[in-house]
Structure 1
Amino acid sequence: MKTEAVRGHLDGLLLAVLEPGPLHGYAIITAVQERSGGALELRTGTVYPALKRLERLGLLAGDWQSTGERRRRCYTLTDAGRRTLAEERTAWREFTEAIGAVLDTPARPARIRPAT
């Protein structure tokens, strides 16, 4: 799927995969890919700046964790992040209903008015 199609929904996607619990950046990318059945492949250059932005906005809390000699930044949803995720879901449902109403409804043939 094209990256452009995901742009407007990236925040919601990231918040959604963090809903069950904390994850580090690469695990977030993997979770999006797995939950989308492989249709969405996010790039690290897109995800990491978005995570930092969401953290600055107070929607995520991040902390450093060590696994062996490696340090990873793990992210967790904040209460504000959970509220924002709920809003994102509502907006997504409204959007898909509106688009579906147009795309899924067959067009009616135009009526031709008789000349007078």
Structure 2
Amino acid sequence: MEAINGDKLRGHLEALILATLERGEAHGLEILRRMEEAGSGLLLLKEGSLYPALYRLEAAGQVKAVWENEPHARRGARRRIYHLTAKGQQKLRQCREEWKTFVNTLGGILGEQALTN
């Protein structure tokens, strides 16, 4: 199967980030790693797309970021740790409902069965 990137992700990135953070707080590169792992290697996302989306989510109050206290026995700059807020959880529920409607609508046109969950 062809990799999923660019235009195929447009409009869904923020929902994917919210869903990833639902599993627990993480720094940016960890979010990328989790998304790539969950996408079975087919989801190709660049840092240049991730961080602007995280900043938009933070500005909207859907995620909150704090600087880690220590680098935890590693070299390099401190990282920002992101976690989902109550507003983000609400947005994620809304995104999931919109996704189901989208998939069911396209499935009806393409002749595929509807999603039931």
Q: Taking structure 1 as the reference length, what is the TM-score of the superposition?
A: 0.86
In the TM superposition, structure 1's runs of 4+ consecutive aligned residues that sit over 4 Å from their partners are none
Q: Separation in 2 of the partners of 1:12 and 1:26?
A: 17
Match of 1:7 in 2: 10
Contact 2:5 2:45 in 1 (8 A): no
In the alignment of these two chains, the number of paired residues is 105
Q: Separation in 2 of the partners of 1:45 and 1:2?
A: 13
Percent identity for Structure 1 against Structure 2:
38
1:54 aligns with 2:57: yes
Question: Shift in Å at residue 2 of structure 1?
Answer: 3.1
Q: Separation in 2 of the partners of 1:97 and 1:57?
A: 28
Match of 2:105 in 1: 98
Q: How do 1:79-94 residues align onto structure 2 when only pairs under 5 Å count?
A: 79-94=86-101
Where structure 2 has 5 or more consecutive residues not aligned to the other structure, the ranges are 113-117
1:74 aligns with 2:81: yes
Match of 2:32 among 23, 29, 34: 29
1:6-65 per-position Cα deviation (integer Å, ceiling 9, x unaligned): 011011000000001100000001111110111111100000111011001100000011
Higher strand share: 1
Q: Taking structure 2 as the reference length, what is the TM-score of the superposition?
A: 0.85
